[in-house]
Amino acid sequence: MTETHADAVDNVTRLAGNRPLYDGCQQLALPSLAQADLAMPWTARRMRRGTYLHRAGMPASAVYVVRFGCLKSSIPGDSGEELVLDFPMRGDLIGADALAGQPCATDVIALEDSEVLVLPLADFEEACTRSPSLRQDLNRHFGAALRKEREHLKRLGGMRAAQRVARFLFELSTRYASFGQSSRAFYLRMSRAEIGSYLGLTLESVSRLLSRLHDDGLIKVNLRQVELLDVDALRAIAIGPEPKQQPDSVPLQAAA
């Protein structure tokens, strides 16, 4: 993939004085940063839709917290395909590669106009030395990330197609609710192909399943706008197996 022209004109600014870094962020990967943020040299980086935060293989020199917007983290393939790993949103931490002393392992791109807070690795490590609570937050973050990864692998390996899609919609609903937004009506920042890559499904399977949920009256879909109509019925699909086998799953390699 080639970088867009917007990559060259990202707006990077130093945060000033008493400007609140986390206004509107109710779900933070590292809550202690909110207490010490003004003492650290954060930089706010505005990202236009389609611009990259970093590319796989680049030197990792900073950690990031999403201030607003939605991004996509993916592993690029040799033939131009990708494997979507996550959709970082408000309050999420990006940049664990830097903490391990490794190059960036993923491409991270903005799916909409977004802003991330940038903290150079040396400053972050110094802050962890000064603040035991920040180090504890970091340990909790890695524990939560491992649990999330295990749950995602369980989903890919053991859940049927409609269950994966229903859980994905519920997870988005929960995230938007934590931002103080509607948990029932929201806009999908990611494409159906990107959802399919994340869930281990084909684009056609995702489109078919969303259409079926729409036809059954569980959700209302208009392009990328989604409204949850029958939450109880959708929850029943999300937490339990489907009564019939669905041949919608594809091997992880093929979904990449």
Check which CATH number belongs to the domain holding 228 and give it: 1.10.10.10
Residue 249: name the closest of 144, 184, 180, 155 by CA. Answer: 155
Residue 71: name the closest of 10, 115, 103, 19 by CA. Answer: 115
When the pLDDT of each residue in the chain is averaged and rounded to a whole number, the result is 80
pLDDT in tens, 63-98: 898 999 999 999 998 877 899 999 999 988 898 778
Residues 122, 246 share a domain: no
Residues 69, 49 share a domain: yes
Residues 60, 106 share a domain: yes
Q: Looking at the 3D structure of the chain, how many domains does it have? A: 2
Q: Residue 23 carries which DSSP code?
A: T
- Of 124, 152, 180, which one is at a domain's C-terminal end? 152
For residue 67, give both structure tokens. 């201030």
Residues 129, 36 share a domain: yes
pLDDT in tens, 174-201: 999 988 899 999 999 999 999 999 999 9
Residues 16, 91 share a domain: yes
Residues 165, 78 share a domain: no
Residue 177: name the closest of 11, 10, 26 by CA. Answer: 26
Residues 130, 244 share a domain: no
- Of 152, 185, 204, which one is at a domain's C-terminal end? 152
Give the burial class of 30: count Cβ atoms within 10 A of its Cβ; 0-12 exposed, 13-18 middle, 19 or more buried.
Answer: buried
Q: Residue 136: what pLDDT?
A: 78
For residue 39, give both structure tokens. 């003492």
Please tell me the pTM assigned to this model.
0.79
| CA–CA dist 22, 25 (Å, integer) | 5
Q: Residue 33: what pLDDT?
A: 60
Residues 139, 14 share a domain: yes
Beta-bridge partner residues of 121: none
Which range marks the domain in which residue 65 is found?
A: 5-152
The pLDDT-based confidence of 146 (bands split at 50, 70, 90) is: confident
pLDDT in tens, 9-36: 344 444 433 444 444 444 556 666 655 5
Q: Residue 31: what pLDDT?
A: 63
Residues 81, 36 share a domain: yes
Residues 188, 132 share a domain: no
- Of 152, 167, 182, which one is at a domain's C-terminal end? 152
